[in-house]
Amino acid sequence: MDVTRLISERALAIEASGIREVFRRRADMKDPIDFSIGQPDFVVPEVMKRAAVRAIEENKHGYTMTQGIAPLIKKIAGHLERDIGWPAARCESSMIVTSGTSGALHIAMLALLNPGDEIIFGDPYFVAYPHMARLCGAKPVFCDTYPDFRMSAERVERFITPRTKALLLNSPGNPSGAVTPARGCAELLELCKRKGVLLISDEIYDEFCYADALEPTGLPGGQMRCPSPCRVKGSEDSILLIRGFGKTYGCTGWRMGYTVGPRALIEQMLKVQQYSFVCAPTPMQWSCMEAFDIDMRPQVDAYAKKRDLVMKALEPLTGLQRPGGAFYAFVPVPKRAAASSREFFEKALTKNVLVVPGGVFSERDTHFRLSFATSDAMLERGLVALAGLLGE
């Protein structure tokens, strides 16, 4: 039987992730210096592991309500009120616990986008964004953010058309680690409100923001936090906020995230989740109850030192932009070293080093992504090899 003739145009319209090829090449390497994976190298906090085990032992295996268990929703809502100033009661009534942040993005786009609609992403972008839009029959629109990788109202406005439904802001960003400053966040929100466009704020790396990128929140206590458009007063009716647990707590495989936003949209997203993911994994929901009482600043500070190692080794050779958060550097490839990031990727393989070519994340092929979520010893070895290639 020729099954190929049965495959949908929807599936054929998207390409397999370029990262898949990197994984395939990795399988053929012996003890590679692997800078390709966006996976924290620290272990899940013990209190979260114990809570997951306890939930399993207490037979908490069944479906939950589509929006998630009430105690976790209440915990998240209290955290958001303290962190961004959104009223807890309002958050509780407009929230979904999702199967990772990717799950939140999928149900958001399915609830928002019709065929032919447009959604704007910054370029470079997280690899899944444009394909999620294409699965909805929508058109991804790329806003060039080179060389500093920061979205701004000035850069974005010319891409807004009558078909634009949403603008997706990812800060701190993957693959660049760039952090959009508070003023830029506020200007993007003002632009979206003026144009009648939803601002989606993907803040999966909200806790992975380094000290030199933190700004005052304006909330009681004078706390310094990662800039977010959600901290603009009254923003809760104009932003869909997406956050998760995987990157901050090292539990990416648990597939846990959450989204909060305008109630009318959340109600439609609930229906999509009900008929797709059903609910987030039940034992993991109970485990994530513990997350907001854990101080992860020591791990973030340790990663800031890794970031500084990358800057010291590669910035003089490439003009690398300093990442303000996440655990990636998006490194320019000098023409003397290679004609493209794809060519440099192949050169790095000869030194047993794995990076990801920039064309996976961008309409350009001029940079490569380096994930420094690895041990200091491996990072230092790999940086010596990369510096040698970049300096050729």
For each of the domains in the chain, give its residue range(s) and CATH number, in order of start.
Answer: 3-43+296-390 (3.90.1150.10), 46-293 (3.40.640.10)
Three-class secondary structure assignment of 175-193:
CCCCCCCHHHHHHHHHHHH
Place of tokens 């209440």: 74
- Report the Cα 110 to chain-centroid distance in Å: 19
Who wins on pLDDT, 392 or 178?
178
Query: What pLDDT, on the 0 to 100 scale, is given for residue 32?
Result: 87
Place of tokens 């933190």: 214
Place of tokens 């908490």: 60
User: Is the pLDDT confidence value at 278 over 90?
Assistant: yes
Q: If you average pLDDT over residues 178-198, what whole number do you get?
A: 97
pLDDT band at 31 (very low <50, low <70, confident <90, very high): confident
Q: How many residues are there in the chain?
A: 392
Summarised one tens digit per residue, pLDDT across range 49-93 is 999 999 999 999 999 999 999 999 999 999 999 999 999 999 999
User: Model-level pTM?
Assistant: 0.94
Spatial distance between the Cα atoms of 280 and 278, rounded to a whole number of angstroms: 7
Q: If you average pLDDT over residues 347-353, what whole number do you get?
A: 94
Pairing of β 164-170 and β 198-202: parallel
Spatial distance between the Cα atoms of 245 and 104, rounded to a whole number of angstroms: 13
Spatial distance between the Cα atoms of 238 and 236, rounded to a whole number of angstroms: 6
Spatial distance between the Cα atoms of 207 and 58, rounded to a whole number of angstroms: 31
User: Is the pLDDT confidence value at 368 over 90?
Assistant: yes
Residue 137 near residue 10 (C-beta atoms within 8 A)? yes
Pairing of β 328-332 and β 198-202: unpaired
End-to-end CA distance of the chain: give it in Å, rounded: 53
Percent helix / strand / coil, the chain, rounded to 5: 45, 15, 40
Residue 165 near residue 200 (C-beta atoms within 8 A)? no
Give the SS3 label for residue 167: strand
Who wins on pLDDT, 155 or 218?
155
Q: If you average pLDDT over residues 205-212, what whole number do you get?
A: 96
Spatial distance between the Cα atoms of 362 and 352, rounded to a whole number of angstroms: 24
Query: What pLDDT, on the 0 to 100 scale, is given for residue 12?
Result: 84
Who wins on pLDDT, 365 or 27?
365
Summarised one tens digit per residue, pLDDT across range 283-314 is 999 999 999 999 999 999 999 999 999 999 99
